[in-house]
Amino acid sequence: MASVQRDQSNGGTHLHQIHSATAHDWEEDKRKQNDFWDDGTMSFFWRAHTISVLVVFSCMLFYVAFFEDVVDDADYNTKRGLLSVIFAFLLFGVTQTPDGVFVRPHPAFWRLVLCLSIVYELALVFLLFQTVDTARHLLTHLDSSLGRPLPEKSYGGKCDIYDYSNPSDPWHNLKDKFDGFVPTHFFGWWLKTLILRDWWLCTVLSIMFEVLEYTLEHQLPNFSECWWDHWIMDALVCNGLGIYLGMKTLRYLSMKPYHWRSMWNMPTYKGMLKRVAAQFTPYSWTDFDWKPFTSLTRWSSMIVLIAIFLIAELNTFYLKFALWIPPEHWLCLGRLVFFLFMGAAAMRETFQYLDDPNCKKFGRQSWLIAAIIITEFLIIAKFDWKTISKPLPRPIAAMWIVGLVGLVVYTIWKFYIKRDVKNDIPEEISNNNLAEVPTPSQKKLHSSHNLRSRYNKNGAIH
């Protein structure tokens, strides 16, 4: 969808500004929201309950102030005070912050994700002002087993799939690679595909991360893997099957009808249970067509998006290496799950920011997740500069230089020399910005029904 600004001076209509064709009909989304009919779904469960929450929270503080026994332990009181501060902020955020882009399973859940993102970013900023030893010690308050150096497992070494020198267990190399991270890779890429909603983008990210592991295996032993572990087990099997299953799920969600009825309008208990389960499925669905070749701005935005996504992936490994967090620790898994929820809302906001010409503001969750990724990287750079500053091997450095030069050359050729921009602008207005467009009165004099039906009363192109 593209919008047109008209100038009707001198009896004619001239085109002054054309927005790039959008991949999604955002005006239709607005009409759906305006035409929303409440059949009982927006009942007690959906209200904010701001007064009730305030009364309950005040009663909790009243109990602490007047009835709870005083504990003379500064460390204990400090921990409880910090947790209570976070709890108070989350209560305010869940009840008072604006709704996000998703409404299922409940808008309050996505408000909670936004507020937890703020808390996490504030914690990262606080860590950034500490020393690495202090940061590691602070983590022991979450788990006393932390704060100890940990051996980093290397998946490289002997890469024979079938080891003839070990007849008792010739498949031991293959078995060693099948650990808990194999299903994590698979389900992770299935969920990432649901977030990104684009096959080519997921495939580029999957391949690029394997290239980054090759590039940085001299820095982290965890990146050292056998060739078949990189390209067969990871890229093809785990990532590839996860992306394939994700695309199948996307096709189902895109074709699925979305008609909602209140649980209380269901005639049977079975119908009520199905309605409760359906509460955890999308309220509606928006397909993502990122259109990277629409313009130089969109192309540059996609490159930045890919770079930020890959930095977030690398942060997972470098953070646990710098802060001495075991890979199987709940903090690592919790961060990954949290990023999935943040990323789902952030990608939806980012897509609308890039695609909707009426969206002029970068989304809240997108802003926060970008700030979190940047802050995590700065913590890594400060705490473990020795590791990340290890120079790249010459063949690897040469490969990246050739790749970056090729990317720049392709960009110049695509957008400045060939100028093959696929923006889906109608032919009669795509030649230049001063193409004359007939007024409504002039359109009546012509027999072209297609041209007449192309414009609505606001001058928007369908």
Six token digits for residue 47: 């209200």
pLDDT of residue 300: 94
- For the whole model, what pTM was predicted? 0.80
Q: Which of 249, 254, 246, 247 has its CA nearest to residue 187?
A: 246
pLDDT tens string 197-236: 999 999 999 999 999 998 998 898 888 777 777 788 888 8
Q: How many residues does the chain have?
A: 462
Q: Which residues of the chain have pLDDT under 50?
A: 1-20, 34-38, 424-462
Residues 6+ apart with CB under 8 A from 128: 375, 378, 379, 382
The number of CA neighbours under 13 Å toward the Cβ of 374 is: 9
pLDDT tens string 20-75: 456 666 666 655 554 444 455 556 677 778 899 999 999 999 999 999 888 888 88
Residues 6+ apart with CB under 8 A from 401: none
d(Cα 179, Cα 182) in Å, to the nearest integer?
6
d(Cα 246, Cα 265) in Å, to the nearest integer?
33
Six token digits for residue 276: 């409760």
d(Cα 290, Cα 201) in Å, to the nearest integer?
9
Output 185-189 pairs: Cβ under 8 A, ≥24 positions apart.
185/234, 185/238, 185/239, 185/242, 186/237, 186/238, 186/239, 186/241, 186/242, 187/242, 188/242, 188/336, 189/238, 189/239, 189/242, 189/243, 189/246
pLDDT of residue 5: 47
Phi (first) and psi of residue 324, to 5 degrees: 60, 55
If one counts every other C-beta atom within 10 angstroms of the C-beta of residue 144, the result is 8
pLDDT of residue 446: 43
d(Cα 185, Cα 155) in Å, to the nearest integer?
15
CB 164 within 8 A of CB 170: yes
Six token digits for residue 40: 């009982």
Q: Which of 119, 110, 112, 36 has its CA nearest to residue 82?
A: 119
Collapsing DSSP to helix, strand or coil, 425 comes out as coil
pLDDT of residue 23: 66
Collapsing DSSP to helix, strand or coil, 306 comes out as helix
